Amino acid sequence: MKKIYILDSSAILSGKPLYLEGKIVIPESIEREVVKEDPKLLQIFLGRDVRYEKPSKKSLDEVNRVAEDLGEKERLSDVDKEIIALALDHREEGDVCIITDDYSIQNVSSFLGLSYRGISEKGISERFKWGYRCEGCKKFFKRPYSSCPVCGSKLKPVVRKRTRV
């Protein structure tokens, strides 16, 4: 089975050697980000099977739906969502693995049945569903608000449910 790696910017910007055999997919938005930071970092991929792609709308919608359900939507950047969506787009082609140290990407990926691996960090050992508790009235909400709709106080993220990976 063909191995496909989806790279997060942390994998490239870490400067650590990447021993990846197979196809490498990098979101176009990360390519732009890395080129701004240090164009030489992309030279490590010369002569390798590397593609710069945009994810499908269908996969982005799926990522947004799951991220919303998990309480991760606010924690994930648009680029983070693109990484996960690209993994969904390629899952029919082979064994897909996201290379990232971002715990929110790993959390959402885990719920979607996608593989991931860290560069500098071990990775998550538990999956979380997040909720939000008001610091004033202590009311619990499944989704974030700019302030508590009941008393106007600040909402604090709390783990709603945890399961072992």
How confident is the model at residue 46, as a pLDDT? 65
Q: Degrees (nearest 5) of the Cα angle 85, 155, 138?
A: 130
CB under 8 Å to 116, separation ≥6 — which residues? 97, 98, 99, 100, 105, 106, 109, 110, 123
CB 66 within 8 A of CB 107: no
Task: Check: CB of residue 138 under 8 Å from CB of residue 152.
Answer: no
Domains of the chain from N-terminus onward: 3-117 (3.40.50.1010), 126-164 (2.20.28.10)
Q: What is the pLDDT along the chain (165 residues), one digit of tens a residue?
A: 789 999 998 888 887 777 888 899 999 988 888 878 777 777 777 667 789 999 999 999 999 999 999 999 889 999 999 999 999 999 999 899 999 999 999 999 999 999 999 988 788 888 889 899 999 999 999 888 899 999 999 999 999 888 888
Both tokens assigned to 34: 């890395």
Backbone angles phi, psi at 156, to 5 degrees: -115, 130
pTM over cut 0.75: yes
Task: Tell me how far apart the 2 most distant CA atoms of the chain are, in Å.
Answer: 59
Integer Cα distance of 156 and 152 in angstroms = 13
Specify the amino acid at residue 122.
K
DSSP letter assigned to residue 24: E
Terminus-to-terminus CA distance in the chain, angstroms?
A: 24
Q: Identify which of 159, 113, 154 has the alpha carbon closest to the alpha carbon of residue 98.
A: 113
For residue 75, give the amino acid letter. Answer: R
